[in-house]
């Protein structure tokens, strides 16, 4: 992290304003409406049925943030805004930005949570239950997660992996990346029904229908995965942080049971270093978990210890980047 100074304190304090201007413009489709042309605010407010005065002011604020440029009454998207926020392509950022907008209002509860903790009376997050929110969340995981999936594929030995489980697999970016490494691996992706619908779109789009079986399930009920102890590899990528420590240990124990002897578990988590003082992304992400889930972020050492307690041997930790640490163990 760069040193803190007066300017950084002020820009962090006001950061929510910058953030909300971007999130609202993306949510309402303003970048898309401008597209690769130059448009007036009246054209945009007319096309999107928005208030003309508010649209004019928001578009000028977007110029203030460098997200648009202005000339002679017309506004143009900045090149990277045009590239990342005007379509719903897998290499864009429109879904993850909508997902951030869904989180926005929940973050304003943080003061209250600091006093009362995670009370049962708070309305649960709708990220998994509301179709639209779920779709943006899961497509967003593809947008920001496919590069990590490719890095995981580079780091993991797929030799002899005939059958792999991707538990809480989301948009199937791991089967996609790992299938290219071993053309013989078959995958079972287990997730909630809403998410499986989205995963099905990716599996079709990337021609993986013959290689990825999609299973609608509650992942604590791993019976659905087919008990037969015949998995060579099971992945838990970015799923443990949303549940309690006891549930994490329960799930790791269940994964142990579905693996064949010599099979491996692979955890990918936004994990902290063992001193719990870095890197920055898991320290900040922990607050998102405090606000929205029963979970938290873990140290790589905690995850390694849970694998050993479940009976896994040869436990190894490898940090891929600040938001991703791999913890692997063998049955």
Complex with ligand SAM: residue 41 or 145, whichever CB lies closer: 145
CB of 196 to ligand SAM, least distance (A): 9
CB of 300 to ligand SAM, least distance (A): 17
Q: Specify whether the CB–CB gap between 94 and 158 falls below 8 A.
A: no
> Judged by CB, which is closer to ligand SAM: 40, or 293?
293
DSSP 246: H
Residue 237 interacting with ligand SAM (CB under 6 A): yes
Residue 303, interface with ligand SAM (CB under 6 A)? no
Closer CB to ligand SAM, residue 308 or residue 318? Answer: 318
Is 44 or 96 the residue whose CB approaches ligand SAM more closely? 96
Among 151, 192, 294, 330, binds ligand SAM (CB under 6 A): 192
Contact string 256-275 vs ligand SAM (x = CB under 6 A): --------------------
Single out the segment in contact with ligand SAM by CB under 6 A; choices: 4-12, 153-161, 190-198, 316-324: 190-198
Which one of 133, 185, 238, 299 is in contact with ligand SAM (CB under 6 A)?
238
Question: Is residue 81 near ligand SAM by the rule CB under 6 A?
Answer: no
Q: For residue 183, which phi and psi values (nearest 5 degrees)?
A: -70, -10
* Alpha-helix residue ranges (DSSP H) falling in the chain: 6-13, 15-28, 30-34, 41-48, 52-64, 79-85, 94-107, 110-116, 131-155, 173-179, 193-205, 245-258, 280-292, 300-309
User: CA 153 to CA 268: how far, in whole Å?
Assistant: 12
168 scored as a contact of ligand SAM (CB under 6 A): yes
CB of 274 to ligand SAM, least distance (A): 23
Using an 8 Å Cβ cutoff, are 260 and 233 in contact?
no
| Per CB under 6 A, 206 contacts ligand SAM | no
As to burial, measured by CB atoms within 10 angstroms (0-12 exposed, 13-18 middle, 19+ buried), residue 108 is exposed
CB 326 within 8 A of CB 155: yes
Distance CA 190, CA 325 (A): 22
Three-state SS for 328? strand
Q: What is the DSSP letter of 53?
A: H
Among 47, 113, 128, 290, binds ligand SAM (CB under 6 A): 128
**Nearest-approach distance from CB 194 to ligand SAM, in angstroms:** 7
Q: Which of residues 141-160 bind ligand SAM (CB under 6 A)?
A: 141, 145
Name all contacts of 302-306 with Cβ < 8 Å and 24+ positions apart. 303/240, 303/267, 303/269, 303/271, 303/327, 304/329, 306/248, 306/249, 306/252
- SS3 state of residue 112: helix
For the CB of residue 223, give the shortest distance to ligand SAM in the complex, in Å: 13
Position 195 contacts ligand SAM (CB under 6 A): yes
Is 295 among the residues that bind ligand SAM (CB under 6 A)? Answer: no
Among 41, 140, 169, 282, binds ligand SAM (CB under 6 A): 169
User: Nearest residue to ligand SAM, using CB?
Assistant: 170
Q: CA–CA separation, 234 vs 222, rounded Å?
A: 12
What would the two tokens of residue 76 be?
A: 């143009």
Task: List, as one string, the DSSP characters of 276-312.
Answer: S---HHHHHHHHHHHHHSS----BHHHHHHHHHHTT-
Residues touching ligand SAM, count (CB under 6 A): 17
Binding site for ligand SAM (CB under 6 A): 128, 138, 141, 145, 168-170, 191-192, 195, 218-220, 237-239, 242
């Amino acid at each position: 992290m760069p040193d803190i100074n007066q300017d950084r304190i002020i820009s962090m304090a006001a950061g929510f304003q910058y953030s909300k201007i971007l999130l609202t413009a993306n949510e309402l489709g303003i970048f898309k409406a401008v597209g690769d042309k130059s448009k007036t605010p009246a054209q945009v407010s007319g096309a999107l049925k928005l208030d003309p005065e508010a649209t004019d002011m928001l578009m000028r604020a977007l110029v203030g943030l460098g997200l648009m440029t202005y000339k002679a009454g017309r506004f143009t998207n900045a090149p990277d805004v045009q590239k990342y926020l005007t379509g719903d392509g897998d290499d864009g950022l429109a879904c993850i930005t909508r997902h951030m907008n869904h989180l926005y209002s929940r973050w304003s509860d943080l003061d209250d949570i600091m006093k009362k903790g995670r009370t049962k009376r708070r309305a649960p997050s709708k990220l998994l239950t509301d179709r639209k929110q779920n779709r943006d969340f899961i497509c967003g995981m593809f947008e920001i997660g496919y590069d990590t999936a490719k890095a995981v594929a580079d780091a993991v030995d797929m030799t002899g992996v005939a059958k792999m489980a991707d538990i809480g697999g989301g948009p199937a970016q791991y089967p996609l990346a790992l299938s290219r490494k071993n053309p013989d691996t078959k995958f079972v992706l287990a997730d909630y029904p809403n998410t499986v619908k989205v995963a099905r779109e990716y599996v079709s789009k990337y021609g993986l229908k013959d290689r990825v079986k999609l299973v609608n399930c509650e992942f604590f009920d791993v019976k659905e995965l087919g008990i037969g102890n015949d998995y060579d590899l099971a992945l838990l990528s970015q799923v443990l942080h949303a549940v309690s420590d006891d549930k994490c240990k329960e799930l790791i124990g269940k994964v142990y049971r579905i693996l064949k002897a010599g099979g491996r578990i692979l955890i990918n988590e936004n994990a902290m270093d063992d001193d719990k003082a870095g890197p920055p992304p898991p320290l900040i992400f922990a607050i998102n978990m405090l606000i929205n889930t029963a979970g938290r972020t873990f140290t790589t050492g905690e995850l390694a210890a849970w694998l050993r307690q479940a009976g896994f041997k040869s436990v190894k930790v490898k940090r891929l980047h600040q938001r991703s640490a791999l913890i692997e163990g063998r049955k």
